[in-house]
Structure 1
Amino acid sequence: MKSKKVNWGHVIVFIILILCMIVTLLPFVWMILTSLKTQAESICIPLKIFPEKPLFSNYAAVFTKIPFAKMYLNTAVTATVIVVVQLILCSMAAYAFGRIKFPGRNIIFGTLLAVLMVPSSFFILPQYLMIQKMGLLNTIPALFIPGLFSAFGTFLMRQFFMALPNELEDAARIDGCNHFMIFSRIMFPLVKPGLVALAILTLRSAWNDLMWPMIVNTSPEKMTLSAGLSYLQGQYATDYPVMIAGAVLAVLPLLILFALFQKQFIEGIALQGIKG
């Protein structure tokens, strides 16, 4: 029997992918190990990789030092509202830009894309003044109102709508459907991969937002997780295992959601790249 020839190109690629996986997972493994250490073990020199005795009480301490459960609820509410409203508004705007011909469509869409060229920090002061005029400072609505619409989300969904065949619309018009019926009953269900990809990207951004909650809110009970974890950092000393335990609990929902919907997410990003 002839021995199979080894494809060294595939072997090299496989080794590189394994190294990349290790480099990617190493920070998460280090976070979990640090969250189980004592304060002395977390700052000792030389570094101590494994704790002598896993200290699970660090996770319970997070809920006693800050209103962590309330922050979890605030983050879940804020992220859910932003994701749901963005999916609705961005998909409707994307359908209009991609499938409906009206005067000035390209100019308006180009102006919308120009927003992506401006750093997000430029919008902080105008958004703060708007929230202040509305009397919503230090409230939960102040956390999600500026994120209810996304120029990137509109652009992403427009690419999916433009890739759908025109025959679908023609057949729907023959059956007497208007634009809203075509969008809601035919087009919207067909762009599910794009919706999942946009939902995960939007959820990650809303869940990890740090600067905006610290600007508009001052009460710990009105903070989100990313901003609330900063309260665990002391002025002179910081209990790093407790703070890292809070970070592990904060990132856990995103990891679970990505594990459940990674197929749709990757499919959506891949299709967007092909259709773009």
Structure 2
Amino acid sequence: MTENLVLKRIGKVLVYILLVAAALGILLPFYWMVMSSIKTNNEVFTVPIKWWPDIPQWQHYVEIFAKSDMTTWLKNTLLLSVVVTFMQVLTGSFAAYGFSKVRFPGRDVLFLAYIGTIAVPWQSYMIPQFRLLSDMGLANTLWSIIALQAFGAFGVFLMKQFFETIPEDLSEAARLDGLSEYGIYARIMMPLSVPAIASLTLLTFVTTWNDYLGPLIYLRNPDLWTIQLGLRTFVSQYDADYALIMTGAVLSTLPIAIIFLLGQRYFIEGIASTGLKG
């Protein structure tokens, strides 16, 4: 018994050591990026690596706004990310409620067909979709990105998996009390689905924030550029100013890191819960 206990403790220690080493390996590039943003250009690629600058160059975070249209890029990216995330959560949860709690002919077949669109790469229908949105007059507007990403099969799948873990007795009792399907969705299902909503919100926000190909195709006006398009242009103009480029990279990554840190508990709980049934 004593030997088994010792072996278990040694095993746990080794697992923690491996996890810490893996975490450090993942965080190290981000640390280097942040430190490089407050270094001088000569310090960024010095050998051996300088893990802390001699004199932190905090003025880079002011200088990048003066040398680029960073305010516009951040504003456009934040606007698109918030609107698309809201629409995905709304449409995904609403469709998921119908697929999981409402009985109608062909429900399962329709759901499988809709979820099957996840396997179709966007590049295969990118050109006809562009022609369609151009004919509708949405090209070169932020509405094009919103129309592209406001609906997603993955969000429906994620929310449906969570809704199916909620007992059907709650819905039946609400119907007997005279509550409509819209009322059940808004007053029962959504309040109980905070973890799944948080997971979908985080995943959608990160995907929209980091999207490059969509804005590259549809947003030609510089006043409409997102931070990903803006940083590409900025890098081409200041390709030798490595510290300033790293500053832009930090600004593009920071909102995602903050959102994940604030919602990681709900995110992990939501992902774990959606895998319990289905």
State the TM-score, normalized to the length of structure 1. Answer: 0.93
Shift of residue 133, structure 1, vs aligned partner: 1.0
Q: Distance in 2 between matches of 1:58 and 1:127?
A: 40
- State how far apart, in whole Å, the 1-side matches of 2:164 and 2:276 are: 12
* Match in the other structure for 1:82: 84
Match of 1:215 among 214, 217, 227: 217
Please report the RMSD computed on the Cα atoms of aligned residues, expressed in angstroms: 1.9
Cα distance in 2 for partners of 1:66, 1:232 equals 7
Q: Which residue of 2 aligns with 1:97?
A: 99
Partners of 1:126 and 1:226 lie apart in 2 by 24
Instruction: Return 43-52 or 215-224, whichever deviates more.
Output: 43-52
Within a 5 Å distance, the mapping from 1:104-119 to structure 2 comes to 104-119=106-121
Bigger shift: residues 122-131 or 88-97: 122-131
Structure 2: which amino acid aligns with 1:228?
A: G
Aligned residues: 275
CA contact (8 A) 2:96 2:163 kept: yes
CA–CA distance in structure 1, aligned partners of residues 208 and 193 of structure 2? 22
Equivalents in 2 of 1:34, 1:124: separation in Å? 37
Q: Is the 8 A contact 2:238 2:245 kept in 1?
A: no
Change beyond 3 A, Cα 1:181–1:146: same
**Secondary structure of the corresponding residue to residue 228 of structure 1:** helix
Name 2:262's counterpart in structure 1. 260
Q: CA deviation at 1:136?
A: 2.1
* Aligned partner letter, 2:61: Y
2:192 to 186, 190, 193: 190
Counterpart position of 2:20: 18
What is the CA deviation profile of residues 235-259 of structure 1, one whole-angstrom value per residue up to 9, with x for unaligned ones?
6943221111011112111111111
Q: Give the counterpart of 1:227 among 222, 225, 229.
A: 229
**Which segments of 5 or more consecutive residues in structure 1 lack a partner in the other structure?**
none
Answer yes or no: is 1:155 the counterpart of 2:167.
no
| Deviation at residue 44 of structure 1 after TM alignment | 4.0
Which amino acid in the other structure matches residue 77 of structure 1? L
What's the counterpart of residue 203 of structure 1? 205
Shift of 1:96: 0.5
Match of 2:180 in 1: 178
Name the counterpart of 2:37. 35
**Aligned residues of 2:95 and 2:156 also touching (Cα < 8 A):** yes
CA 160–44 in structure 1, closer or farther in 2 if over 3 Å, else same: same
Contact 2:161 2:275 in 1 (8 A): no
